[in-house]
């Protein structure tokens, strides 16, 4: 599933101006709010769901080569974080569902295609 498919299917809002990255393949979902743990456990291609919105999220997502970062529950993201994400090629999405619901939906969809 590509990021574009994910956005269309679940109605995520794209916070970053990063249309050139929407063809990235999402291969998993990971929810974690402890940045050091996420840095150790995120896999390339994961959609990372976190409530954190600071600059460090961009650094971790970039280092791990995550497909995207998804901010749940319509939590507001600072403009500084969005700008840094655009510089680093990190796609940030936003949705109204909880972290658990988002991961469930993504993983359910991915299992259909296996």
pTM as predicted: 0.95
Q: Which domains does the chain have, with CATH numbers?
A: 3-112 (3.40.1390.20)
Distances (CA, A) of 85 to 90, 92, 93, 105, 112: 5, 7, 11, 24, 30
Q: What is the pLDDT of residues 17-68, one digit of tens each?
A: 988 899 999 999 999 999 999 999 999 999 999 999 999 999 999 999 999 9
Element (H, E) at 47: strand 46-49
Instruction: Name which of 11, 1, 2, 4 is nearest 102 in CA terms.
Output: 11
Q: What is the pLDDT of residues 2-28, one digit of tens each?
A: 999 999 999 999 999 988 899 999 999
Q: Measured between alpha carbons, how far is 95 from 5 in angstroms, rounded to an integer?
A: 15
Separation of CA 3 from chain center: 9
């Amino acid at each position: 599933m590509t990021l574009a498919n994910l956005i269309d299917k679940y109605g995520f809002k794209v916070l970053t101006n990063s249309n050139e990255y929407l063809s990235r393949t999402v291969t998993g979902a990971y929810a974690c709010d402890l940045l050091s743990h996420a840095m150790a456990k995120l896999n390339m291609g994961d959609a990372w769901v976190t409530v954190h919105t600071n600059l460090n999220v961009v650094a971790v997502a970039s280092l791990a080569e995550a497909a995207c970062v998804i901010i749940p529950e319509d939590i507001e993201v600072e403009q500084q974080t969005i700008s840094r994400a655009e510089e680093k090629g990190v796609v940030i999405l936003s949705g109204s569902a909880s972290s658990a619901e988002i991961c469930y939906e993504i993983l359910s969809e991915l299992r259909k295609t296996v």
